[in-house]
Amino acid sequence: MSTKAKNDDYLLDLTSRVYKVVVEHGKNGVLQSELWKELDLTSRDGSRIAIRLEKRGMIRRIRVLQGGRWTYKLTPLRFPVQIKSIEEAPCITCPDEERCSPGGVVTPNTCVLVENWVMNDFKLLTIPTSN
């Protein structure tokens, strides 16, 4: 493997680790400076990775004043898909499941149980737009 390929693999792994830590902090986010300490990164390398994730639409960088110094708070814009949301689908235990179809008597398009499930899941994943 070439040196460039090794560097690319290392950078991809590091980017994944940064994103994972940001997601683990959830909607509240994490200060960029705390993240660099946690992952033992230089601020230069960490900033480049954060900018890359922001450009990809995966995180939001919000400039904040912390302890008299400017830094960025990193919050996830997208969360990885989790099986938990599917496990909680009302269809699995629905008494009308046999009669449910897009053109049937009971339809997923008008089902109150599905609507409530989707809205509840959406509320859990909604990211505040400002702090």
Confidence of residue 107 (pLDDT cuts 50, 70, 90): confident
pTM exceeds 0.75 for this model: no
Across 89-117, average pLDDT: 86
Three-state SS annotation for the chain: CCHHHHHHHHHHHHHHHHHHHHHHCHHHCEEHHHHHHHHCCCHHHHHHHHHHHHHCCCEEEEEEEECCEEEEEEEECCCCCCHHHHHCCHHHHCCCHHHECCCCCECCCCCHHHHHHHHHHHHHHCCCCCC
How high is the pLDDT of residue 83?
73
Q: pLDDT digit string (tens) for 32-60?
A: 989 989 999 998 988 999 999 999 999 99
Q: Is the pLDDT of residue 70 over 70?
A: yes
Boundaries of every domain in the chain? 3-76, 83-125
State whether CATH 1.10.3720.10 applies to domain 3-76.
no
